[in-house]
Structure 1
Amino acid sequence: MRRVLWAACAALLLSASPSTWATPDAATLAAHLAAHAPQCGRFEQSRWLADLETRLDSRGHFQQQENGLIWQTTVPVKDRVVLSQDNDALPLGFQVMLPVFTGLLSGDWQALERHFSLELSGELENWQARLVPSEAAVAERLTHLVVGGDQRVKRIELEFADGDRLDLRLTPAACENLGHGAPSP
């Protein structure tokens, strides 16, 4: 009986696709994320402000549009930011983070590799990426990012040079339901 069990386990492992248990390379993960990139979603955000020694929590939703990524905070205050190269009013911190954030959501690792060194771990359906700035303008503000997910980016953790931290949790949502319904789980 024990031999049969071992044989069944071995057959199951051998029949599994290597891509389901091997650490993905950047190109494979990029294609995987691009194929599942959400048009819309909800976010929960927790920001640690080191100089004030306080945490600020917020939530809202995002939507990819032709003119950029719309980032709408709904709680605790309402705020709307258009993350776009064409947005001249975008604060410098957002300008620096724009290619990072849009690259993460769309799986554009090539854009990210222009600004970061990348270390991938895990499996295609449960992966993690550690990104360390390789560009001086980014390194002045950000020490590193840790990103993880499955078919989509689910969490982004940023650590800033000034000691601040930002933790984002992302959940896909139907675009027509963004202004309605329960807050993200």
Structure 2
Amino acid sequence: MDVNDLLTEAYGRLPELVEPAVAGLSPQRLRQAPAPGANPVGWLVWHLTRIQDHHVADLLGEEQLWVSGDWAGRFGLTPDPHDTGFGHGPEQITAVRPDSGRVLVDYHRAVLDRTLAFLRGLRPADLDRVVDPNWDPPVTLGVRLLSVLADDLQHAGQAGYVRGLIERE
């Protein structure tokens, strides 16, 4: 298995986690936190998709789909390219208001499709390219891709868990 197949396979597993986490949930349920200060399913899936969109767009040197498309309005937000959910407090979390589970799945799918196209074009040597010299050691493309994937998997798992919690009520 080469690097393209490995990364494509890994990222390609995300819909198997994202889609069941939001399927059939009303907009109210998507915004329901399982406890005060906890993140709701909709915010978790929005956040993991925003992180991927933000980082992959940067790697491609292109505009984020969040900014170039009509996604933001469907979440009750503005298309701010810096708003990825990182560091959000309670007010910012509740401001993320997806109008349906479908919009979460569709935005995730659009971002994932672009990510997969990017991954298919990689060569092993590309992974050593420094993409962020502001860290010690500098961050390479390979490390960035693994970091985004790890973040996505963690938040997708959290979304599934939170769904289970809110459905028990």
Structure exhibiting the larger radius of gyration computed from Cα positions: 1
Q: As a proportion of its length, which structure holds more strand?
A: 1
Q: What is the TM-score when the length of structure 1 is the normalising length?
A: 0.30
Q: What is the TM-score when the length of structure 2 is the normalising length?
A: 0.32
